Structure 1
Amino acid sequence: MEGDEIKLATQDRGFFGSTYEQKLSKLKELGFEGLEIDGKSLIENYSEIEKAVKATGVPISSICGGYRGWIGDFDNERRKLAIADIGEIMKRTAEIGAAGVIAPAAFGIFSRKLPPFAPPRPAGVEREALLDSLCKLNDHALSTGSALLLEPLNRYEDHMINKLGDAASLIQEGGFREVKVMADFFHMQIEERDISASLRETGDLVAHVHLADSHLQPGFGHTDFRKGFRTLKEIGFEGHMAIWRWRTI
């Protein structure tokens, strides 16, 4: 995947400008083809964002965060909040033309690699909770024309979904048409034995990619992006790849 075939986006950063038209204009000048923002910003600034997209021709590529709770939250009420908030964000996501809303199972609530090592609920109950959340969000996605982008995180940040295959297994078990996989090179270089093999196995379920190296910004670590890009091209990936870790010093 080389040259003009790459659709490169980036997450929002303050140094791109203070208004969305400034941000998107700056990104266009730098050669980016999309901006990833959080859901709260999308809802609160929708009119401004819509005008900026029309004025610059640079789309909002995806939505990351900006909602309460987690879809795999231990607290059932917070899990319901996540489902409700993401459902509301999806309405705007579809209207703005973004690929979907990114969601891990959870972030930072538990790791099997850190004490106390055993999560507070059985694995079967956790899977049931995730399948229930994904079922409801798949329904939201179908009704809004959006998608949920399920993101595996590394073993230190989450204990439920760590590999692309974990995400794909849930999607396939539930038969969820509008739940896709978000592949993040930072997490993949920790969790996947062979990134290219995992991408091939996940195939067309991969709908969005995050570009981050083993040490922050791409190019500052040891990740083999060229091999990964070639594999993405092989499986027919046509979505955005968003830089989400910027080295500012």
Structure 2
Amino acid sequence: MKSCVTIALVPQIKTGPWIYWNDLEASMAKASALGFDGVELFTASADAISPQRVAQLADQYNLQIGAVGTGAGKVIHGLTLTDPDPAIRTQAIDFITDMIAFGAKVGAPAIIGSMQGNVAPGVDHEQALSWLAEGLNTLGQRAEDQGVSLIYEPLNRYETNLINTLDVGVNLLKGLNNKAVALLADLFHMNIEEPSLSESIRMAGSFIGHIHFADSNRRPIGLGHLAMDEVATAINEIGYSGFISAEAFPYPDSDQAAKQTIESFTHYFG
């Protein structure tokens, strides 16, 4: 398993569950000094940062790029894969396609979280799921063509009314036309939705391709009430070998949150 920490690089966003903010090189330098294996980037668009610059910094600081987020497509542009307007769905696919290409240039998968959208008023739930599957089929193939995976993230009920649990996420992935799409197990979302985090992880097993490492209150692990011993046991049991990435609030500040995260990662997985 590999430790990872998030970096938010979207000027329009001032708060949220990312450990480091705004300064890519300074954040990567700090992550490297603490012993993280990688960083997860949240950028405004695929061309907001040069992939060559990202690769150069990753090499300089001996870091991998764990993943790239696509959420700015919704936050800034209002784009989702389940919008009733087919033109907006097409724009969402185009935005994510560009992020897949950006990620591929630095060896990282793209994550689809908030850009999955919601079941809009007046839209049948199955219709929305069909649009989501259609988008994931298209985007999964584009990711596979570029040699990377695509990560789909079930979110809690307060963020989407589409898919909230890992088991439903697994069923979605089983119905897709390609195998390039993996599941993101976000411990914060799971704490809200799953009857048992550890059993859900065991059930999802090899479908899990990325893990978000945050406590019950979305602060760094160890600052909430998550039963992390049980969760860590399940993660080890399924033979997970990917990134465990801190998508958590920078509490009480970025530096202390990063230190808390790497200490927790080392305690459970080191």
- The residue that corresponds to 2:142 in the other structure is 140
SS of the counterpart of 1:128?
helix
Q: Would you say the 8 A contact 1:152–1:164 is kept in 2?
A: yes
- Using the TM superposition, name which of 118-127 and 155-164 deviates more: 118-127
- The residue that corresponds to 1:130 in the other structure is 132
**CA–CA separation in structure 2 for the residues paired with 1:215 and 1:177:** 33
- Using the TM superposition, name which of 216-225 and 37-46 deviates more: 37-46
Instruction: Check if 1:228 corresponds to 2:231.
Output: yes
Opposite residue 87 of structure 2, the aligned amino acid is E
Instruction: Check if 1:72 corresponds to 2:91.
Output: no
Opposite residue 160 of structure 1, the aligned amino acid is L
Instruction: Check if 1:104 corresponds to 2:113.
Output: yes
- Aligned equivalent of 2:2, options 3, 7, 23: 7
Opposite residue 130 of structure 1, the aligned amino acid is L
- The residue that corresponds to 2:246 in the other structure is 243
SS of the counterpart of 2:151?
strand
- The residue that corresponds to 1:32 in the other structure is 36
* Cα-to-partner distance string for 1:110-159 (whole Å, 9 max, x where unaligned): 6xxxxxxx842112211211111111111111211122111001111100
The alpha-carbon distance between structure 1 residues 109 and 134, as it changes in their structure 2 partners (threshold 3 A), is closer
SS of the counterpart of 1:102?
strand
**CA–CA separation in structure 2 for the residues paired with 1:109 and 1:169:** 18
Opposite residue 47 of structure 2, the aligned amino acid is I
- Aligned equivalent of 2:92, options 69, 82, 103: 82
Q: How far off is 1:74 after superposition?
A: 3.5
**CA–CA separation in structure 1 for the residues paired with 2:99 and 2:88:** 16
- The residue that corresponds to 1:210 in the other structure is 212
Supply the RMSD in Å over aligned alpha carbons.
2.2
**CA–CA separation in structure 2 for the residues paired with 1:30 and 1:41:** 28
Instruction: Check if 1:197 corresponds to 2:199.
Output: yes
Q: How far off is 1:105 after superposition?
A: 6.0
Q: Would you say the 8 A contact 2:8–2:41 is kept in 1?
A: no
Opposite residue 7 of structure 1, the aligned amino acid is K
Q: Would you say the 8 A contact 2:151–2:182 is kept in 1?
A: yes
**CA–CA separation in structure 2 for the residues paired with 1:230 and 1:75:** 44
Q: Would you say the 8 A contact 1:11–1:242 is kept in 2?
A: yes
5+ long unaligned stretches in structure 1: 1-5, 111-117
Q: Would you say the 8 A contact 1:185–1:213 is kept in 2?
A: yes
- Using the TM superposition, name which of 174-183 and 64-73 deviates more: 64-73
- The residue that corresponds to 2:170 in the other structure is 168
* Cα-to-partner distance string for 1:71-103 (whole Å, 9 max, x where unaligned): 2234332222221111111112122112x1111
Q: Would you say the 8 A contact 1:72–1:105 is kept in 2?
A: no
Q: State TM-score, norm by structure 2.
A: 0.80
Instruction: Check if 1:54 corresponds to 2:59.
Output: yes
- The residue that corresponds to 1:114 in the other structure is none
Identity %: 28
Opposite residue 213 of structure 1, the aligned amino acid is D
- The residue that corresponds to 1:115 in the other structure is none
Q: How far off is 1:240 after superposition?
A: 0.7
Q: State TM-score, norm by structure 1.
A: 0.86
